[in-house]
Structures are given as structure tokens and as C-alpha cells.
Structure 1
Amino acid sequence: MDELSRRLVPDELRTLVEPLIPPGKTRPQGGGMSRVDDRAVFTAIVFVLTSGCAWRHLPPSFGVTVPTAHRRFTEWSAAGLWRDVHRAVLDELGSQGMIDWSRAVLDGASVRAKRGGLTGPSPVDRGKPGSKIHVLSDRAGLPLTVGISAANTHDSHALKPLVNAIPAIRSRRGPRRSKPAKLHADKAYDIPALRDWLRQRRIIPRIARKGIESTEKLGQHRWVIERTIAWLTGHRRLTIRYERKPSHYLAFLTLGATITYYKKLAK
């Protein structure tokens, strides 16, 4: 299992994550059982994300009980750990000049959802309950920010929140940056108000126009975001949403994106 743990969470990623993990609560009166190692718990959570197994099926070989793994995941999600790790890896990429700000690409994809908030009848799955994941990436397909909504929410509603959610990322030279030069999107985002909103922020809209531009031409730039979504759904926990709380599914989605960043960083 040690070899599996190293493949799931390499030492370099573990070194980056450890300082960001919030400290555990201490008992004022002292005593009690010793706290399970945070590194083992983090690896177990990554295994759940990657394999898609239910929490109750978590192998005991990780040295972490099911209640401990789920409780720590809930605590860390509430503390914003996944967002912090996401930004830390983006800073590493940005400081090495590995983020291409010349163009950002936006798209969404529907996933089936069993229950919980931010679900709705999916227009692409015969009206079954579902959610939609939204991803905004740089020109090379590295996701800069992610989000979720109900499956029956129009894609265009995600544009403003995702653009506003891009964190200020470290650059190789100069100040931090959080704004791409251009934004590419498909015809679902072809709304004059959105174009005006982007121009006000000095972002050039490259949104396909309905009835004018062909899908083939659009695909020359958008294939990278489709590949990114395929990377994310390669983590089996993301293919079907089992989490009742949207924040927990978003936590897994952010963690999946973080692992994608790390693979790029490690090359």
C-alpha cells in the first residue's frame, strides 16, 4: 500500500499540502487517543476521489477508519483546505511561467446526481436529477476555477461567477494576475450583456455567435476544455454526484483539479 500511497500523493505534493492543513482540536483536559496522521487521511481521501468507492468501502490498509476519514474530509472542506491547496499549486505553476494567460476557455458538463441541493432535471439525461460542473481553464487546459450548478441551469449563468473566482496567481515576473486576455466560449454564452461585461473588465470576448460561426471553427480552440473535463471525470467520484451537500461535491471537484495541476507541475 506504500507504493499506492506514493502514486496517489507523491512526496512533493504532500510537502505542499502539509503546511496548509488546519491543526486538530486539542482537549483542554488532556488525554484521549492520539490523532491519526494527517498525511494518511489525505491519501485516503484522494483514494476515495480517484477510485469512486463509497466511504464505507475505504480499505483499512491506509490505517484510517471510515469515520475518521469522513469527519476529517468534512472538517477540511469547511476550513477551505481544498481551495487553499488549489491556490498554492497555481502559485507554483504561475511562478514558473506555466500558466498561459493569453486565452481562457469556459465550458460545462452534466453529471447525474442522486440527491441534495443544486440538482435539477437534466435536459441531456431524460429529465433525471443531475448537476452541472463548470470549468474555466487557461489556454493549455489547466483549470483555473471550477463550480457546480443544477443541471437545468443555463450555462451562461456560470460565466460571471467563474471569471470573478479566478484567484490572484503569482507570476514569474511582476504582480499577481487574475485576468486572461481573451475568453473563449461556445454559443450558449452568446449574450450581449455578457460580452459587454467582459469588455468592461478588459477581457476580449471570443464567444461563438449563433447562426454565424460554425461548430468546427469553434472546436479549434475549445478542445482543450473538453479534454480538461475528461481529465476531471477520470476521477470516478466525480462521474456521479453522491454527496448530498453541494459543498462536498465541489470539494472533490477542486481536489480533482488540484491533482491535475500537480501532474502538469511534475512534468
Structure 2
Amino acid sequence: MFRGSIPALVTPFRDEAFDEEAFRAFVEWQIAEGSHALVPCGTTGESATLSAGEQARVIRACVEQAAGRVPVIAGCGGNNTQSVIALMQSARDAGADAALVVAPYYNRPNQDGVFAHYEALAAASDLPIVLYTVPGRTVTDIKPETVARLATVKGVVGIKDASGDLGRVSAHRLSCGTGFAQLSGNDDMTLGYMAMGGVGAISVTANVAPRLCADFQNACLEGRWPEALDLQDRLYPLHAALFTDASPGPIKYALNKIRPEFSSELRLPMTPPSEASRKAVDAALAHAGLV
């Protein structure tokens, strides 16, 4: 259902408010540059600082601007099952094609609790669910054996895996089947992830380099591995530089460098990247040929 280069979209702010005009232009640029799908309101979209009303507005603006040209996978994560059900209903009403749902954070359920959380979401909504494991942020993981259980639940269609464990691609292929969409959540590891059976990436770097990331994904999906390796070498410094400070500070800084009309404004508690981070981003943008 989902494959290729899927940017985890940043959310532009202007004077602390959601800048819908800039966001719609950004969505249009992403589609024109070849992105295969879009994720609004993920971690990179500063969803933790958006109100429920703002989140609904961002998702609706993305769906309306995409106008069916590419799928929209709405970020709907949370650590309260009933609240996530409400977010998924809002995304469904807005016309999203699926929900990206991160593992519950802070309250740290065990694996039975993780399974029950997603099972309840699937029972409450017909919106397809893409699991999202990123234990470096949430502490809670979705273990491979739990992914295998969840793959049997109607409506659970794939996973964004930011565990950093490439071996899971093979484990998931064997337990979930090849129809279960495995999407990388670590840009720097995506080449290996794709070689092992992944079908795409929900990408931070694609915010800044959508054409290069789309070309990279197309090369992987078509088995043009030497070309994919060349693009990996071109993009790797950027993959690293965008995480030299708290995300999405470096990403918004990079976007503002290549698209000055796009504000680098963040919402507290996020603050602008350090000078060292900015220098790393500048060098990586030059290496990638983006400036």
C-alpha cells in the first residue's frame, strides 16, 4: 500500500501560529519533486506542540493539497488509547489514507499492553494503521514477536521501524509476510534496510532533498543498487547533519537555507540549532549539491 520516499513533513510556523499557506506550498513542492506519500504531524512535524485542533487542520490541509495525487499517512500517536482513537477519527474525517501510530510513550506498557493498544485502535477505526517503533524516543519498543501478532490484526498494514536493528527486516518478512509494508525510520540505514526487503522510508532528509530521496528510493525499488549507493554517499552527510542537534531544528534551518520563504521558527521547548550544527548542515547541503 505504501512505498518509496515518504517525507515526515515539518510544520511551518509564523509568529507562533501554523502557517497554512507555507505548508500547502511545501506539500506542492514535495509532490512535484517526486515524493511517493506524505506524513503530516509526525515527530518531525512537532506534533507534541500542536493542539488537537491544529493537528486536524494540518492533516486536512495536507489531504486537500495532495488532492489524491499521493497517499497521506497522518501522524496520530499518543500514550492514551482513547485519545488516539479520537485523533484517528479526526484524520479519517479529514480524508487521510492511513494513520502512523507511535508506540505508547512515558507510561511504558509491556508487550501485551502494546498489542492491546493497537488492537483497540484497529477495532475502533477502519483507517489503516502503520505501526511506529522508535524506542530511542519512546522507551517503549514494539518487539518483533509483537509485530508478528499485530500483522494478523485487520487494518494493521505496516511498520515504520526506527529501532536501528536491521535484522528486524528479515524477522518481520518471515513472520508478517512480504505484503506487510516495512518502512525505514532511519535515513542513514535505509540502503541496507531496502536491500533486506524494505519497501520505503518515512524520511526526515526528504524534507530538504525530496528529489534525491525519491531518486534513491526508485533506484532501490528497481534494483539499481550501484546508483542507490552513489545517492547514499551523496546524502549520507545530510542524514547525519540533520541530527546534530534536537530535531527538527536542523531540518528547519536547512529548509530555510534552500527555500528562504520557509521560516525556521520552532515552538518551545524546541530551540534553534547550535552553531556547530548549522555548520554541519551547511557543509552537508553543499556536499549534496543543494546549495
TM-score by length of 2: 0.29
Which structure's relative contact order is higher, taking Cα pairs within 8 Å and 6+ residues apart? 1
Largest Rg, 1 or 2: 1
TM-score by length of 1: 0.30
